[in-house]
Structure 1
């Protein structure tokens, strides 16, 4: 019965929170230990050790038990072994290996929360909401999310085959080559004269500073009449970075608050006066791949009536995960709090609803021949206004992002309308 006594000691430590040395104890008095369940647990361990068809070492059994405890809580809590822990640290710093998709779990399958821009997954056409049902022909039904992620990671340049289902369609396969994923979390450009665009692909440690630099660069030497902040397919990331991005557009007021059982999980984040976004008209684009930190930004700007939210409903991940390092190069990724928008909304499993719903579509240009105009006729009279007449022959212009992206096109049209309205006041 030595193993049983060892198991009891391990279970007591876990249930009393002893390995979580970096977390504060819950404020409430802990319930008595469930001794009957602990005896059952110890008996199961002993039966497996003595009766299972192949010998299994105690360390493996205990790690499986820990992993099962975490996976049984919610889709985002997990036990991180050394490689997974390092991978998580790499992803928040902006460089990691793999396919470039943020995933969750749904009905036993692996669900794509969002593909990351300019990665193998995005280039292969994988979309938010796709279900991964096989990895290299191995069914993922019942596979833990951490095991699935480990299978998708691998040596750079090696290939992997995913079988996916989109909506009610038939399964389809994509083959991808693993790559070093270098995520540039913020990029920006001018859509038209006076109208800027900032895309945040993921909230990394430095995303707040990058957004401020992008704002200053877009406004340098010119009047910024409007801005599109694109959070589509942004799977989230670092909470503090989301607060900093929202703060770049707010003068004061609450951005987000969190509530949980640990005393240090109840936090409030308020805007400061350091606001490079000033009162520039702002449209925020979201979709079903906008999750977590992206929803914090959209919810704060919506509740504070600072921006118009456009697109489709966001993902609905309203929980906060804390990484709690253990003393053996492992860690727990544990859901410790829920976050709430300034108006007290929890978007958990509901998402942010846009102010203006615009479904995804692709614009195509009408290529019909243009009819003749007066300026095309030989010997036509000058207009006398000193303005050069425009012939019907038009050179081919470079394609702009808004020319094929319907949601972005509608955001730009709305910004122009807001500017006209402001000018008339």
Structure 2
């Protein structure tokens, strides 16, 4: 039986680790969340699949015949993998519709769900790209407490030279991060150069379950000016992380705030709305969406009667996308914040997620979202 899952997604295709936005509730039984939430689904679909109409049945037969001929006669070893061929065919078909409709195989969909529940399988090292001598190099910025990276002894300032024997000079930290992630319990070998004495060291870490913070850093920049780094997307934990950051900054007498959305590639739309809501008074329009069907239309407004009122600056760049653009657009259109930086990525589409019976999934564009003044951010 196929389970149909509908998710309002505000994600992006900037990086493999944060391509879209979706998350499943903790329980595995029947569940349903009202439309407009991050996810709604039911397992009460009919047990008997409806018969396909004539054209679809003929197409299915043609596809099966083509796959059989490819398997028998094509020279490539991949011809013996009908799963790969089917995935490629679906991906090509969806790309012909729009840039963001997408097919996820079982592994990709499971990884996507894990990311937006605020966890992933990896080492727990936060890394950053720095250009040195004209080439990108990757350095360790921090390690999560209790993570494989901390256990192995990675330190701030260590330069990563290779991952599993592959030199990573010139690669962006996004690419290096994906190389360091993998299946739970598998090993990753890293060669690094120590920050203090520049000695090279080889380390092997076993990938584990690591909590993913969407706000990795919060501190005071200057007297009275607080800084919140919201660069890690929007997961189910984002608003809780933001409230904690604001509480700590208030305790230090914050009088103005910098919210950094640079590099934020998107996430769960309800979390983005809730972040904007922290700074916008009751009744203020945050976001609207319009779809092919009237039941896809919706308007979000702030329900916050005690918003944060300190002066606010929001930093953006070309990798600020989707859910992050919702926040920036809502604060800009309501004259609540000064937006500083580069032109943002431009993803203003809403995807519905349909989970298939084998654990794979389709992301199908269903609507567009608009800022409070009616601007479509979709490029």
Same fold (TM over 0.5): yes
Cα 1:210/1:152, change in 2 over 3 Å: closer
Cα 1:156/1:298, change in 2 over 3 Å: farther
Once the two structures are TM-superposed, the CA of residue 243 in structure 1 deviates from its matched residue by: 0.4
What is the alpha-carbon distance in structure 1 between the residues aligned to residue 244 and residue 93 of structure 2? 43
Could you tell which deviates more after superposition, 43-52 or 183-192? 43-52
Residue of structure 1 equivalent to 2:49: none
RMSD: 4.3
Once the two structures are TM-superposed, the CA of residue 207 in structure 1 deviates from its matched residue by: 0.8
Cα 1:50/1:258, change in 2 over 3 Å: same
User: SS state of the match for residue 113, structure 2?
Assistant: helix
> Are 1:217 and 2:254 counterparts?
no
Could you tell which deviates more after superposition, 258-267 or 51-60? 51-60
Residue of structure 2 equivalent to 1:198: 228
Q: Deviations over 1:381-414 (max 9, x none)?
A: xxxxxxxxxxxxxxxxxxxxxxxxxxxxxxxxxx
Once the two structures are TM-superposed, the CA of residue 229 in structure 1 deviates from its matched residue by: 0.8
- For the 8 Å contact 2:346–2:377, the answer to whether it is kept is yes
The structure with higher relative contact order (CA 8 Å, sep 6+) is 2
- For the 8 Å contact 2:122–2:182, the answer to whether it is kept is yes
Residue of structure 2 equivalent to 1:354: none
Once the two structures are TM-superposed, the CA of residue 269 in structure 1 deviates from its matched residue by: 1.1
What is the alpha-carbon distance in structure 1 between the residues aligned to residue 204 and residue 345 of structure 2? 27
- For the 8 Å contact 2:121–2:181, the answer to whether it is kept is no
329, 338, 349: which one pairs with 2:368? 338
> Are 1:68 and 2:98 counterparts?
no
What is the alpha-carbon distance in structure 1 between the residues aligned to residue 258 and residue 289 of structure 2? 27
Structure 2: stretches of 5+ with no match in the other structure: 7-40, 42-52, 127-138, 144-148, 150-155, 168-176, 192-202
- For the 8 Å contact 1:286–1:310, the answer to whether it is kept is yes
Cα 1:70/1:151, change in 2 over 3 Å: farther
Cα 1:32/1:220, change in 2 over 3 Å: farther
Residue of structure 2 equivalent to 1:171: none
Residue of structure 2 equivalent to 1:185: 214
Structure 1 length-normalised TM: 0.55
> Are 1:21 and 2:4 counterparts?
yes
Matches within 5 A, 1:202-281: 202-220=233-251, 222=253, 224-251=254-281, 252-277=283-308, 279-281=309-311
What is the alpha-carbon distance in structure 2 between the residues aligned to residue 45 and residue 51 of structure 1? 10
Structure 2 length-normalised TM: 0.61
Residue of structure 2 equivalent to 1:77: 101
Residue of structure 2 equivalent to 1:286: 316
Matches within 5 A, 1:4-403: 21-22=4-5, 33=55, 41=63, 44-53=66-75, 56=80, 61-97=85-121, 118=142, 153=182, 155-158=186-189, 182-186=211-215, 187-201=217-231, 202-220=233-251, 222=253, 224-251=254-281, 252-277=283-308, 279-349=309-379
Residue of structure 2 equivalent to 1:397: none
Cα 1:183/1:177, change in 2 over 3 Å: farther
Q: Deviations over 1:242-297 (max 9, x none)?
A: 000000000032111122235543222111134441x2111111111211111110
Q: Deviations over 1:99-131 (max 9, x none)?
A: 999xxxxxxxxxxxxx997589x98999xxxxx
User: SS state of the match for residue 346, structure 2?
Assistant: coil
Higher strand share: 2
Name the larger-Rg structure.
1
Could you tell which deviates more after superposition, 282-291 or 48-57? 48-57
What is the alpha-carbon distance in structure 1 between the residues aligned to residue 181 and residue 252 of structure 2? 46
Once the two structures are TM-superposed, the CA of residue 92 in structure 1 deviates from its matched residue by: 1.1
Cα 1:216/1:124, change in 2 over 3 Å: same
Once the two structures are TM-superposed, the CA of residue 212 in structure 1 deviates from its matched residue by: 2.3
Residue of structure 1 equivalent to 2:32: none
Once the two structures are TM-superposed, the CA of residue 319 in structure 1 deviates from its matched residue by: 1.9
Residue of structure 2 equivalent to 1:388: none
Cα 1:65/1:297, change in 2 over 3 Å: same
Could you tell which deviates more after superposition, 324-333 or 237-246? 324-333
Once the two structures are TM-superposed, the CA of residue 204 in structure 1 deviates from its matched residue by: 1.2
User: SS state of the match for residue 44, structure 1?
Assistant: helix
- For the 8 Å contact 1:247–1:275, the answer to whether it is kept is no
What is the alpha-carbon distance in structure 1 between the residues aligned to residue 357 and residue 212 of structure 2? 30
Cα 1:92/1:47, change in 2 over 3 Å: same
Structure 1: stretches of 5+ with no match in the other structure: 1-17, 25-30, 102-114, 127-134, 138-147, 161-175, 350-425
